[in-house]
Amino acid sequence: MTETEAFRRQMPPPLAPRPLNLPEHLETTLSNGLGLVVVEDKRLPLISFRMAFRSGDANDPADQPGLSDMMSSLMTEGTATRTSRQIAEEVERFGATLAVGSSSDFTTVAASSLSVYADEILDLMADVSMNPSFPQNEVDLARENTKQLLIQQRAQPTFLASERLSQVMFGKHPYSRLSPTPEMLDAMTRDDLVRFREATYIPNNGVLMVVGDVDRDAIIARIEQLFAAWKPGALPDLDLPALPKRSARSIHVVDRPDSAQSNIVIANEGITRTSPDYFPMLLMHTILGANASSRLFMNLREEKGYTYGAYSNLDARRLAGTFRATAEVRTSVTGASMHEFFYELERIRNEAVSAEELKNAKSYLAGVFPIRIETQDGLIDQLVSIRMYDLPSNYLETYREQVNAVTVEDIQRAAQNYVTPDRAAIVIVGDAVEISEQVKPYADAIELYDTEGKPKK
């Protein structure tokens, strides 16, 4: 081996830790209960806003899944004083961004622009947040677009796998609701959207984040002026049934005849975002399957050549979570891939990770963290997560300390608690005829579904 080749095989040493250099921030609450966080960052003439509400897809009524998504998509399509076109033209004229998005746990109204247009874009954001009018023609268009999106989604194996897994893992819990049927969309009215927004988009259920080149006192005065008339309301109350208790391994196959690939998901019950096991789980996930140097990737792709990538997923939400191992593999190696998955899941449980693996995982997480919060959008997204998930106020300052405090023993304990192959839910989307015999060794029975989510015999 030449000297040059030897150099290429050596991992470069980690750089010295970078200081976070977090700008100071002010937190307060307006008289109507709206939380406010202002961070002055004058490095660039930019400003970012996030209005975040503690209401998301999990707040959808049981018989109206998709209501939060529909409402979010329509909030920029008209207000009491602006049409959809006028909103779009204002955003374009200021070279700004304005978007509304809903996740399982919360919804955000996000806007950004040059700081010279801060007043104008804040006024537009306030109008969209407080006064959406849900024009009937826009509701009708959104309904038809959603129906077409559902058709597209049902052609995607990843959607089918997520849908079935949500049903299996969450049962009657709100997290199991993924998408409405066409019949549910037809029954969804403009009045439903208005009532839902009035019940959930209330100031005492939200927080407004401001990060950028602003004068703190001036922006607070402007915010109080814009939002003073917004009345608080009763906080939404979620009726949460218990999650299904798993006592055995199960296999659920979504049949896609002639599929060239099998989408495999192996899941266990996970943790909430505020769990004290979050950082041990994060380190375990990083070693097992978070990236292209993790164990799953190196095994199923680099050594076996079964897939383009194999990963794990740490899905920690406000109310519940899952821990998953996933890959898209060739149909002919579905069974062989399952063997390797369970080999790695058992190994992370039963064998202590090496000191080198732990060191590298810590170096990666601690090193990439400052990069994630260098931009205004990156910082404001972290601030939203802190408030929406009720994380400690010093979460950013102590993140690297928490990462570096995790031990080999912590990781094995977390793996033994949350990686339980004997109780795993296995969801596979693929050609049932071709894969059934391959996966039989991994469960006593196989539940079979079509691509519409209906059981097959």
Whether the CB-CB separation of 250 and 266 falls below 8 Å is answered with no
Residues of the chain with CATH 3.30.830.10: 25-227, 250-456
3-state secondary structure (DSSP) of residue 207: strand
pLDDT digits 0-9 by tens, 283-292 = 999 999 999 9
Q: Looking up tokens 């058709």, which residue turns up?
A: 151
Whether the CB-CB separation of 90 and 124 falls below 8 Å is answered with yes
pLDDT digits 0-9 by tens, 301-347 = 999 999 999 999 999 999 999 999 999 999 999 999 999 999 999 99
How far from chain centre, in Å, is Cα 279?
17
The correct answer on CATH 3.30.830.10 for the domain covering 250-456 is: yes
Tell me the C-alpha distance between 266 and 312, whole Å: 9
Whether the CB-CB separation of 109 and 51 falls below 8 Å is answered with yes
Q: What is the CATH number of domain 25-227?
A: 3.30.830.10
Q: Is 35 exposed, middle or buried (0-12, 13-18, 19+ CB in 10 A)?
A: middle
How far from chain centre, in Å, is Cα 230?
29
User: Crossing angle for the helix pair 376-388 and 395-404, nearest 10 degrees?
Assistant: 90
pLDDT digits 0-9 by tens, 269-313 = 999 999 999 999 999 999 999 999 999 999 999 999 999 999 999
3-state secondary structure (DSSP) of residue 318: coil
Whether the CB-CB separation of 442 and 251 falls below 8 Å is answered with yes
* Sheet of strand 425-430, all strands in order from the earlier edge strand to the far edge: 307-316, 321-330, 261-269, 425-430, 250-255, 446-449, 455-456
Structure token pair of residue 456: 């097959």
Tell me the C-alpha distance between 410 and 177, whole Å: 33
Whether the CB-CB separation of 21 and 190 falls below 8 Å is answered with no
Measured on CA atoms in the order 416, 175, 328, 279, is the torsion positive or negative? negative
The secondary structure of 14-80 as a DSSP string is PPPPPP--PPPEEEEE-TTS-EEEEEE-TTSSEEEEEEEES--GGGS-TT-TTHHHHHHHHTTSBBS
pTM equals 0.93
Sequence-distant (≥ 6) Cβ neighbours of residue 244 within 8 angstroms: 168, 169, 170, 171
Task: Express as a percent the part of the chain with pLDDT over 90.
Answer: 88
pLDDT of 372 reads 87
Neighbours of 322 (CB within 10 A): 24
pLDDT of 3 reads 60
Tell me the C-alpha distance between 295 and 20, whole Å: 30
pLDDT of 4 reads 60
Structure token pair of residue 293: 């140097």
pLDDT of 303 reads 97
Sequence-distant (≥ 6) Cβ neighbours of residue 198 within 8 angstroms: 233
Nearest to 266 by CA among 436, 427, 415: 427
Note the helical H segments in 334-444. 334-350, 355-372, 376-388, 395-404, 408-418, 432-439
Given a cut of 70, the residues of the chain with pLDDT beneath it are 1-9, 11-12, 14-18
Tell me the C-alpha distance between 295 and 301, whole Å: 10
Beta bridge partners of 26: 38
**Dihedral (Cα; 136, 140, 142, 148), 10-degree rounding:** 180
